[in-house]
Chains A and B, each alone.
Chain A
C-alpha cells in the first residue's frame, strides 16, 4: 500500500483525500459540532454569569439577598479567573484525568469535550456580557422601568437583546477561536480534525500534505462561520430601510378590511 504513494505533492494530496477523505470530514464534523454547541452553551453560561455580575448590591437590599449575591459573585469570579488564567489543553487533561482519579468518574469523550470548551467560552463571555450590558444607555433601563417592567423583565426584553446584539462580534470571535482550539482536545483522545489529520500524517509520513488539507478545512470552517454570523447580525438589525405602513396596507394586514373590489376589478 505504502509503495503506491505518488511522488508529487498534488498527487499525494489526491491520494490522501481518496483514501482518508471521510476521516477528515468526520474530524471536521466533530470539530464543528463541538465548537458550535460549546459556543452556544458558553454564551448561555456567559449571560448567566455576566448578568449576575452586573446586578448591583444596594444598601436597601434585604440581608439574605446581599449575602447570596456576594457568594454568587465570589464563586463566579473564581470560575472566571481560573478558566481564563490556565491553558485549555492543561484544563482538558486536568479535568479528564482528575475526574477519573478523584471522582472515579469516567467521562465520555464527547461529554468531556463539550464540558471543557463550554466552560472556557463561558469564562471569556462573562466579562464580555457584563461589558455589553454596561455599555447600554441607562435611558433604556429607565424607559423599561417607567412602563412598569420589573428589573427582570427589563433585563429580558430590553437589556439582554441589546447586549446580545452589541457582543455579536465577540461571539463570532469566540466561535472562530473554538473551531481552532478544539484541536487541543486531541490530548484527551477526541478525534477532531487535527487528531484525524495527524493520524493520517503518521501513517504515511506525509505531514505537509496532511496539514495542508487540515489548514484548508479549518480555514473553510472559520470563514464560513464569520460570514454566517455577519448575516445574523444584519438580521438582528432589522431591515436597513423600513417600509412605510400606509393606512391601507395596515388595515389589510390587521384584518380590518378585505381587499376592495375596486382593486380586484382593475
Chain B
C-alpha cells in the first residue's frame, strides 16, 4: 500500500510493433529506480506511458492504488503530480528561464505569481541557475538548459520525477553538472525513475535497477546485484559492452 506507482502487465504496441510486451513493477515512496537497457528496448516508451504521453494498449498503471487509465481520470491533474525531464529539455522557447518555471504553478496549479516566483527561485538556486533567469532557452548551454528543465519539473512539486536520458544530449563536459543535481535530489529522498546510460551514476544513486530488453524486464534488483553479480547472460553482455565502451 506504500506504493506510489504500480505498473501491471503494461503493454504498448505501435501498429503491429510490440514495444512494451509485459512490464510489471512498483515504485515506493522514496525509491530511486534506474532503468537501463539497449537503445530501442522500450525505456522511453515506458516513461511516456507512465506520464500518459503515450496511451498504453494493455495492462494498467496505478497511482496511489487508483488506475490512471480508468475513464474519468483527470489526466492533466495526474501529470502535474508526475514531473518529467526530457532528453531534449523541451523548455518553452517563448519564455525565459524564470517564466518557464512559473507558468505551470501559476496557470495550472493557480499558485499566486509572487509565491510561484519565490518557489521557482528556490529551485533555480538549487540547480545553480538563479543567475540565468532572464535568459531564453536558446541562449543557454545544454547543461544549463537541462538544469533549468529540472527546476521547472520541481516547481509543480511532483510526487514522482521521471528522467528520460537526461544527459544523453549533452556534451561530455556538461554531463557531470546535471548528474550532480539529480544525485542531490535522490539523496533528499525524492521518488524518481531514471532512464540512463550512465552506469556508474545508476549504481550510485538508485536503490533499484531494472534492465529492459525487447519490451520486457529481463532482470531487476538492487544495484549491487545487477552491476556486481547479474544473473542473466544478456544483462552481463549489456554491461560488458558498457565497460568496454
Query: Which residues of A does B touch, CB under 8 Å?
Result: 60, 137, 139-140, 142-150, 153, 157-158, 161-162, 165, 237-239, 241-247, 250, 254
Q: Knowing A140-B92, A145-B53, A245-B133, say if A254 contacts B109 (CB, 8 Å).
A: no
Instruction: Chain A residues near B139: list those with CB within 8 A.
Output: 241-242
Query: Which residues of B does A touch, CB under 8 Å?
Result: 51, 53, 55, 76-77, 79-80, 83-84, 86, 88-94, 96, 103-104, 107-109, 117-118, 121, 130-136, 139, 152-153, 156
Instruction: Chain A residues near B108: list those with CB within 8 A.
Output: 147-149, 153
Q: Knowing A148-B109, A242-B135, say if A139 contacts B76 (CB, 8 Å).
A: no
Instruction: Chain A residues near B55: list those with CB within 8 A.
Output: 60
Give the distance to chain B from A105, nearest Cβ to Cβ, in Å.
42
Q: Is the CB of A246 within 8 A of B118?
A: no
Q: Knowing A242-B139, A254-B118, say if A153 contacts B107 (CB, 8 Å).
A: yes
Instruction: Chain A residues near B93: list those with CB within 8 A.
Output: 140, 162
6 contacts between A and B (CB under 8 A): A147-B104, A148-B104, A148-B156, A238-B96, A242-B134, A242-B135
Q: Is the CB of A242 within 8 A of B136?
A: yes
Tell me the bound Cα distance from A118 to B31 in angstroms: 58
Give the distance to chain A from B156, nearest Cβ to Cβ, in Å.
6
Q: Is the CB of B134 within 8 A of A150?
A: no
Which of B51, B76, B117 has a CB less than 8 Å from the CB of A150? B76
Give the distance to chain A from B152, nearest Cβ to Cβ, in Å.
7
Q: Which residue of B lies closest to A255 (CB)?
A: B114
Instruction: Chain A residues near B77: list those with CB within 8 A.
Output: 148
Tell me the bound Cα distance from A150 to B53 in angstroms: 12
